[in-house]
Amino acid sequence: MHGTSPARLIRAGVFAAVSVGVSANGHALQSGHDVPPAGMLLGSALMLAAGWGLAGRERGGGAVLGWMLWGQLALHFVFALTESGAAHPGHPAAAPAAAAGQDLSPGMLAAHLVAALVCALWLRRGEAAAFRLARGLRTLLADAFRPPAAPPALPLPAGPERLGGGDEPSPAADAVLRYAVIRRGPPTPRIA
């Protein structure tokens, strides 16, 4: 699962979808209006690119949280920029300046912080489960497709072989049955 294109794209897509979805909902609740589709698309592209860079290997919880905090800050500015552009279509030069300070209330910052924490928890646990599953499948498939091992070679007898003579077992039989428990014998008498 390390760096293969389909798995990496899936991981980056999940990262982007979770980040943008949770962030847009929190942002809309705090600002009182929906995030425009342009903000959703731009935020998704930004987070997909960041997710692609991160998805090269398994990340720890601290790294995921750090990237989520950065991502939530970036998404806030993307959403604010597209909201101000939609609200002031005749003044495109004023849009970036207005977007930088728009809705930068403690509630908005708290919403993005909570979104970062929730997303980091979901993504880290999901990533750990996905990597655990991939390792288990790799082990299972490696064992399933490994050629069977040859049976162990029996040791050769040390001296001349005895064929049916004497009470002691031959050395070859002793080597094969070294740990065998023999439970055969005459029946025990019953006492009535």
Residue 51 has pLDDT above 50, yes or no: yes
Q: Tell me the backbone φ, ψ of residue 181, rounded to 5 degrees.
A: -105, 120
Structure tokens at 56: 């090269």
Residue 73 pLDDT = 87
pLDDT band at 169 (very low <50, low <70, confident <90, very high): low
The pTM of the full predicted model, rounded to 2 decimals, is 0.58
Would you say residue 100 has pLDDT above 50?
A: no
The pLDDT, as a whole number, for residue 97 is 46
Residue given tokens 């920029």 in the structure block? 81
Domain membership of residue 92 (yes or no) is yes
189 falls within a domain: no
Structural domain for 96, as ranges: 5-144
Tell me the DSSP string of 34-76: PPPHHHHHHHHHHHHHHHHHHTTS---HHHHHHHHHHHHHHHH
Asked whether residue 178 is assigned to any structural domain, the reply reads no
Q: Please, which pLDDT band fits residue 45 given cuts at 50, 70 and 90?
A: very high
pLDDT of residue 171: 55
Mean of pLDDT over the chain: 76
Output the CA–CA distances (angstroms, integers) from residue 137 to 123, 140, 145, in the order listed.
21, 5, 12
Residue 106 lies in a domain: yes
d(CA 56, CA 4): 8
| Predicted local distance difference test score (pLDDT) of residue 43 | 92
The larger pLDDT score, comparing residue 163 to residue 113, is at 113
Is residue 176 one of the residues assigned to a domain? Answer: no
Instruction: Write phi, then psi, for 42 (nearest 5 degrees).
Output: -65, -40
Residue in 149, 150, 133 with CA at minimum distance from that of residue 141: 133
Is 28 within a domain? yes
Report d(CA 130, CA 191) in Å as an integer: 65
CB 94 within 8 A of CB 88: yes
The SS3 call for residue 36 is coil
Does residue 38 surpass a pLDDT of 80? yes
| Beta strand ranges found along 8-126 (DSSP E) | none
Instruction: Decide if pLDDT at 128 tops 80.
Output: yes
* pLDDT for the residue 46: 92
Decide if pLDDT at 18 tops 70.
yes
% of the chain at pLDDT higher than 70: 73
User: What is the tally of structural domains in the chain?
Assistant: 1
